[in-house]
Amino acid sequence: MSKVVLGLSGGVDSALAASILRDEGYEVYGVFLDIGVTPPEEARAVAEQLGIGFEVVDIRAELEEKVCAPFTEAYLDGRTPNPCVMCNPTVKFPALVRVADRIGAEYIATGHYAKVDHDEVSGRYRLIRADSSKDQSYMLCGLGQDILSRVIFPLAKFEKETVRQMAAQAGLSVADKSDSMEICFIPDNDHGRYIGSRGYVSKPGNFVDEAGNVLGQHKGIEYYTVGQRRGLGVAAGRRIFVSRIDPKKNEIVLSDLDKMQVRDIHIKDVNWVSMAPAAETFRAEVKVRYSKISYAAEIVPEEGGLHIVFDEEIKAPSAGQAAVFYSGDVLLGGGTIM
C-alpha cells in the first residue's frame, strides 16, 4: 500500500481528497499546516472520521520569512504580490515533502484543482489545468519537477458543487463548510490593517492624476493596489482606477481605463514548469492574474527574464503579481511581473 501525505486544512476540498485517496487504497496521513490563525480541530475531526493518521506541523517561522515579510515589503514598495503563489513552492509543499520523507511516504497530495502528468518525450512532469471551472494551476506556477513528480491532485476532474455533493454523500463533517476566499494569514482581507499590526504607521498622501494634479487624499499606500476602482473616496464623475503607486513620493496616480492599457510586460524570476527554459521566441496564452481570462502573446527571452508582447492591449497588470503562460491546458511556466 502506497503512503501519501495530504495537506488537511479542515475544509471540504482537502477532506474529500483524503476520502478519495483512502478509498483508492492509499495509506493517507493528514497534516495540518499551522500558521497560528485557525485551530486544527476540524482537520483532526476529519482525520478521526476517516481513520487516517494525523499531525500538526507548525510552519509559522517559514511563512513569516518567505511569505509574510516579503508580502509586507512588496506592498510598501507599491507592488501587489500573490501570497499563495509565493507560499506553495517555498513553504506549503516543502513542508509536506519533509513529512513524507520522514515517514517514508512516496507521495504528497492537496485539495487543489489541477492535474499532473508525465510527458514521455521531454521526460518532464507537466502541470495541467483542471477539468473544473475552479482550476487553480495558476497558483501552483512556482512548483518544480521535484514536487510535481510526487504530487497527487485527487479533485482535478470535479466541479466544486460536485465536491460538496460527494463530501455530503461520504458523510464528511465539513461538507457544508464555506470556502475560504481570502489570504490565509489575513482572513479579513484588510491588507492595511495587517501591515499596521506589524508595526508600520500609515502615511496619508495625495491621489494625483497623470499630470500631477491633486485629486484627494489617500490613507496610506498599503491600502491600495494597481487596478483598484472601489473605495478610493474620490468624486471624479467618471470611472477612475489606481494606475501607479509611487512610494517615494507617497502618491497614488489615478487614471481613466484607456490610459491603463498596455501591449507588453516584463517578468523576472521565471520558473519553467512543464517545458525546458526557452532560448527563442514562442507563442502562448498568458494569465496576468488569477482569473479565467488569458491573452494570446509572444514570449521573448531576454536577460534576466521574459518580455511578453500581447496581440492586443490589455488592462495593465499589477507589479508583483504572477504572469503564467500556457500551451492549451499545459502550464508551461510563470514569473513575477516587473
The CA R_g of the chain, rounded to the nearest whole Å, is: 21
Residues for the chain: how many in total?
338
Per residue in 173-210, is it b (16+ CB within 10 Å) or e — as a string? ebbebeeeeebbbbeeeebbebbeeeeeeeeebbbbbe
In order of 171, 317, 328, the CA distances from 314 in angstroms are 46, 8, 20
Report the amino acid identity of residue 335.
Answer: G
Paired sense of beta strands 330-337 and 125-129, if any: antiparallel
Which among 309, 223, 296, 313 has a CA at the least distance from the CA of 260? Answer: 313
Q: Report residue 16 as a C-alpha cell.
A: 474529500
SS3 90: helix
What residues contact residue 69 under an 8 Å CB cut-off, 6+ apart? none
Strand order through the sheet with 3-7: 53-58, 27-34, 3-7, 107-109, 151-152
Q: Which residues are catalytic?
A: 87, 184
Angle at which helix 160-169 crosses helix 12-23, to 10 degrees, equals 60
Report the amino acid identity of residue 336.
Answer: T
What span, in angstroms and rounded, lies between the C-alpha atoms of 166 and 175?
8
